[in-house]
Structure 1
Amino acid sequence: MTNNKLAVLIDSDNAQAAIAQELLNEVARYGTATVKRAYGDWTTTNLSGWKETLHSLAIQPIQQFRFTVGKNATDSALIIDAMDLLHSGGVDGFCLVSSDSDFTRLATRIREAGLAVYGFGERKTPKPFVAACDKFIFTEILRTSSPEKVQPEPTQESLHTILVPAIAAAAREDGWAALSAVGNLATKSHPSFDSRNYGCQKLSELIRKQKFLDTKSVASSDGSPNVHYYVRVKET
């Protein structure tokens, strides 16, 4: 976990309370959730599942009445608060929890200011919102202890498109690339890239399964038990 201070802003109309704990566990991988807010009209019954969750996880409910049918006031309230937090300088990044494309411009604006944006949403989340984030996590993989395959079974073509350019960009003269660098580059070009989408807990596990790649591990030279992993495209 890093020391980054993160604002977790939840669109309760487009997020499930059942995965709230798992969501915060995932957020902890990227920093500390110093702000936790959930937006919605808490006078309605459709958010009843959130109410107990809010208290147990110390998430602050932000009330936003629906003044007009068909207009999403919740989105506007979340965006206004996000901009206030952005200009206050009190956080290092944002976690936007929604499957709604309305937050695409918000994500790009935050990134323009130099802060990180982590998106969380269901597999149905529109691609523009996914692409606008530094990292996007499909919430389906948070629902169980075992990763759920939320994409079709990975093919050589699909992963080839993601991994080969990343390996080429990170490779040394001998063709080997540090796995950590490959993972970072793959995420930068494809924000939703995550080994758990393919049923693998770790990137190294996913890489080893790909027939078009070679892998090797090298013990740390400083005497520590750490092992460094490398990958390269197989010669044809």
Structure 2
Amino acid sequence: MNNETRVAVLVDCDNTNPAAVEFALRMVAKFGRVVVKRGYGNHATLANSWRDTLVSLAFTPCLQYQYAAGKNTADMALALDALEILFDQRADCFFVVTSDSDFVYLCRKLRERGATVYIVGEAKTPTALRNASDQFFEWMPPTSVQASPAVPSTPPRPKAEAPVVKRRPKFVVEAVTLLASDTPEGKVHLSTLGQYLRRTNPEFSPAAFGYSGLLEMIKSYDLIFPKKEDGGHYTVRLAKEQAPAGEQI
């Protein structure tokens, strides 16, 4: 029996850059198999660049005419289709590509029914929509290349890359303290810790603090201690519990 997660990718074309869709699909690949791919918009939106994007990435275009000025029927169609997909059990994980806060309630209803919801949006995405999801992925538009003036007399020196500043936020220690206190062993699985951090802040990512992963981030702390267990998985506990008697951390 195949237990692979089934994912529906629903794109709000009226409030999204076409270039964000490929980024969304790269994120989706981490979570499961895409079974539904749809793009929603009006007749003006689903043309030109959006038409090319939807065709090349094998999305089903869902054209919604505006029956009255100022009424966005595409949003309602996306929301209704999402609920139908959930009730028909075609997917249990949803990637909604949008920066529109109108979808906050949809995210809440999907999660209430047991679905996992991810949002892919731009920096302008409201906080309410970010927090309504299980995890938020921010898409950054590529930096525009400005036309350079006349060729300079001497070639410019390559800019040195800014060093990555590694930070150790206090909330990670607080999370370990909270989760480990509920266990008789005084430790928490690394995966459970990661899930908790993403649930409390859908934007959480070790990369934002200068680390390649959560384990590397945990190892940088003095107050918490990771340990590789016999099964190969890692657990995390407060470091003071690992110190020999009389030794201070």
TM bracket, shorter-chain basis:
0.7 to 0.9
- Pick which of 175-184 and 85-94 moved more: 175-184
Equivalent residue number for residue 61 of structure 2: 61
CA distance in structure 2 between the partners assigned to 1:165 and 1:3 by the alignment? 33
Greater helix share, 1 or 2? 1
How many positions carry a matched residue from both structures? 217
1:166-181 equivalences under 5 Å are: 166-171=175-180, 176-181=187-192
CA distance in structure 1 between the partners assigned to 2:142 and 2:186 by the alignment? 38
* Matched residue SS, 1:71: coil
Matched, 1:165 2:184: no
Matched, 1:186 2:192: no
- Pick which of 119-128 and 194-203 moved more: 194-203
* Contact map agreement 2:187 2:235 (CA 8 A) in 1: no
Equivalent residue number for residue 230 of structure 1: 236
* Contact map agreement 2:207 2:213 (CA 8 A) in 1: yes
Equivalent residue number for residue 74 of structure 2: 74
CA distance in structure 2 between the partners assigned to 1:139 and 1:28 by the alignment? 16
* Matched residue SS, 1:94: strand
* Matched residue SS, 2:19: helix
What is the CA distance between 1:8 and its match in structure 2? 0.8
CA distance in structure 2 between the partners assigned to 1:183 and 1:37 by the alignment? 30
- Cα deviation per residue 1:95-152 (whole Å; 9 max; x = unaligned)? 1111111000001111111111111112321122112112222223x979xxxxxxxx
CA RMSD of aligned residues (A): 2.9
What is the CA distance between 1:7 and its match in structure 2? 1.1
Give the TM-score normalised by structure 2: 0.74
1:122–1:212 Cα change, 3 Å: farther
- Cα deviation per residue 1:186-225 (whole Å; 9 max; x = unaligned)? 112222212233353322233345x55444453x535xxx
* Contact map agreement 1:179 1:231 (CA 8 A) in 2: no
Equivalent residue number for residue 28 of structure 1: 29
Equivalent residue number for residue 147 of structure 1: none
Residue 132 of structure 2 aligns to which amino acid in structure 1? A
1:205–1:139 Cα change, 3 Å: farther
Equivalent residue number for residue 119 of structure 2: 119
**Percent identity over paired residues:** 33
Give the TM-score normalised by structure 1: 0.78
Q: Structure 2: any 5+ residue segments left out of the alignment?
A: 144-164, 241-247
1:170–1:108 Cα change, 3 Å: same
Residue 88 of structure 2 aligns to which amino acid in structure 1? S
- Pick which of 168-177 and 125-134 moved more: 168-177
- Pick which of 78-87 and 14-23 moved more: 14-23
Residue 186 of structure 1 aligns to which amino acid in structure 2? L
Equivalent residue number for residue 152 of structure 2: none
